[in-house]
């Protein structure tokens, strides 16, 4: 045997005692990640002109050394450290040097579920078992699983535990999570998104309002926790929630293109419970999704030779008339009672789609369309002079109308990518042309909610064959959809653009 190692836990810090040169060499690669920064603008042009890499790599160590030269890191890495040391022959045990003064706050009172008439669906009891048997961890659950509901259940089961719920997205925490928690729990507060109700047992925060948290929470939930890998989010969450049991919720773990997923594990710990999409679908928790691919093949490449990624997307996706016409044609395959959503990346793309689909409502961030851009869009006949300006109240009203099924047709930018509950959504036309693994889960996930009479969610996507880069992204989407087990139907090469036969196939 190589010796004995004691992992000293103090809040959410972990000290490896002792740390000799061999242990340092074992743990350094385990606790180090490589950030990938994709060059843009003049840096990209310079790299291409000098035949240099288009991606900048930076190595980051997620640990330090204390005054005794012992390795100090985030507690979320405890299992990763334990496994690495055990694999190298060490005996490892852990000691909490500053335990919670009243650990009974973490003991669930399951009789309270019956008292309040709460019934759990399949996989939700296992969710609770994993949470109450681990000091931290991440949950991998598909969109539609009911993550906000499970946070409320934890609040019911642990009536004396102080709970903080944190999201990077202001609208999600303000318009979705906070109202849902208030429906089930009596003492809920919020700081962020223009709201301030402090001093409650259960508190909701945005990352930008983290400095208002007092650090006394017993449990912290991070919604869409993959977003906590970003620089500011990681810093603020690590600094504020240094003593709580931290649990992260997401359907998109370990998919960040910048390589910063290791930070998320440091904050929240390893994945302790995973529910595959197919498993939830078979249990009736989420709806099945079917993908209809439309071939977008052109005689020329409208973004050929473009170096800047923004200009490439502008000509290849946002202002590509042929591609936008295909999307509009597919959108009109459905009657007025079918709820249809068209997510895109930018307002520029939204207005080009709006010009083709005037019956659709545009939804975007309240400060997203600058006055000079609005004037240009009006002059270019892309939007009407009577198009209402977007405000926070208007966006909230449109979101509510779409969630309730009163609004049937919408074109939306990224503001609805996460944290919305569209139970009646039947059709989603993915217009953005992206290839992010996170978006390949989150955007189609809007279709996953179940509703009476809803048998399947239809996802339209576009095989962009006119450009090598966009074709690669389309194939990446196809691969990710296949990973979720979603049924995919590809067009016959001779049938460019039309999906009518595919729709007939699904109807038979």
Task: Encode pLDDT of 145-176 as tens digits.
Answer: 888 899 999 999 999 999 999 999 888 899 88
Q: Do domains 103-279 and 287-507 have the same CATH topology?
A: yes
Q: Which fold has domain 3-96?
A: Translation Initiation Factor Eif1 (3.30.780)
Domain boundaries, the chain: 3-96, 103-279, 287-507
What sign results for the dihedral spanned by CA atoms 179, 183, 184, 190? positive
Question: What's the N-to-C CA distance of the chain in angstroms?
Answer: 65
The CA-atom distances, in angstroms, between 292 and each of 107, 428, 502 are 47, 10, 7
| CATH number for the domain running over 287-507 | 3.40.50.300
DSSP state of 169: -
The CA-atom distances, in angstroms, between 291 and each of 160, 343, 414, 420, 463 are 46, 15, 20, 21, 12
Question: Which tokens in the block code for residue 303?
Answer: 């973004």
DSSP state of 67: T
Euclidean distance between CA atoms 8 and 196, whole angstroms: 37
pLDDT value of residue 503: 54
pLDDT value of residue 421: 85
pLDDT value of residue 24: 97
Residue where the block lists tokens 């208007």: 394
Euclidean distance between CA atoms 424 and 284, whole angstroms: 15
Residue ranges, the chain, pLDDT below 70: 1, 492-508
Q: Give the phi and the psi of residue 304 in degrees, each rounded to 5.
A: -60, 135
Residue 375: partners with Cβ closer than 8 Å, 6 or more residues away: none
Under DSSP, is residue 409 helix (H, G, I), strand (E, B) or coil? strand
Let me know the angle formed at the C-alpha of 464 by 424 and 277, rounded to the nearest 5 degrees.
Answer: 40
| CATH number for the domain running over 103-279 | 3.40.50.300
């Amino acid at each position: 045997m190589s010796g004995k190692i004691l992992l000293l836990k103090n809040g959410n810090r972990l000290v490896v005692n002792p740390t000799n040169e061999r242990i340092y060499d074992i743990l350094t690669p385990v606790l180090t990640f490589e950030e990938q920064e994709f060059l843009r603008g003049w840096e990209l042009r310079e790299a291409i002109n000098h035949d240099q890499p288009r991606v900048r790599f930076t190595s980051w160590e997620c640990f330090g050394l204390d005054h005794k030269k012992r390795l100090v890191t985030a507690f979320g890495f405890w299992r990763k450290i334990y496994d690495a040391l055990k694999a190298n022959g060490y005996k490892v045990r852990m000691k909490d040097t500053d335990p919670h003064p009243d650990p009974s706050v973490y003991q669930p009172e399951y009789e309270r579920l019956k008292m309040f008439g709460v019934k759990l669906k399949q996989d939700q009891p296992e969710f609770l078992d994993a949470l109450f048997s681990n000091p931290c961890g991440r949950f991998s659950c598909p969109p539609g699983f009911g993550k906000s509901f499970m946070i409320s259940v934890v609040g019911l089961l642990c009536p004396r535990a102080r709970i903080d719920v944190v999201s990077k997205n202001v609208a999600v925490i303000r318009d979705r999570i906070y109202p849902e928690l208030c429906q089930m729990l009596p003492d809920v507060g919020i700081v962020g998104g223009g709201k301030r109700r402090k001093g409650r047992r259960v508190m909701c925060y945005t990352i930008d309002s983290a400095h208002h948290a007092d650090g006394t929470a017993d449990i912290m939930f991070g919604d869409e926790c993959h977003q906590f890998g970003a620089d500011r989010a990681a810093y603020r969450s690590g600094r504020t929630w240094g003593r709580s049991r931290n649990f992260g919720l997401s359907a998109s773990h370990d998919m960040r293109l910048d390589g910063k997923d290791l930070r998320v594990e440091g904050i929240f710990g390893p994945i302790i419970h995973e529910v595959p999409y197919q498993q939830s679908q078979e249990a009736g928790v989420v709806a099945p999704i079917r993908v209809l691919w439309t071939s977008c093949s052109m005689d020329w490449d409208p973004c050929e030779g473009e170096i800047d990624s923004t200009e490439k997307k502008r000509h290849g996706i946002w202002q590509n008339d042929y591609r936008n016409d295909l999307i509009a044609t597919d959108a009109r395959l459905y009657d007025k009672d079918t709820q249809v959503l068209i997510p895109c990346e930018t307002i520029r793309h939204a207005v080009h789609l709006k010009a083709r689909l005037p019956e659709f409502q545009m939804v975007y961030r309240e400060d997203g369309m600058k006055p000079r851009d609005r004037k240009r869009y009006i002059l270019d006949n892309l939007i009407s002079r009577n198009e209402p300006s977007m405000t926070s109240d208007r966006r909230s009203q449109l979101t509510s109308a779409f969630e309730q099924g009163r609004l049937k047709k919408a074109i939306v930018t990224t503001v609805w990518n996460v944290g919305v509950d569209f139970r009646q959504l039947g059709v989603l036309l993915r217009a953005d042309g992206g290839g992010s693994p996170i978006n390949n889960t989150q955007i189609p996930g809007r279709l996953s909610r179940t509703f009476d009479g809803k048998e399947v969610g239809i996802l339209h996507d576009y095989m962009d064959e006119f450009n090598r880069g966009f074709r690669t992204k389309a194939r990446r989407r196809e691969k990710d959809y296949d990973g979720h087990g979603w049924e995919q139907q590809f067009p016959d090469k001779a049938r460019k653009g039309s999906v009518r036969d595919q729709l007939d196939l699904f109807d038979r």
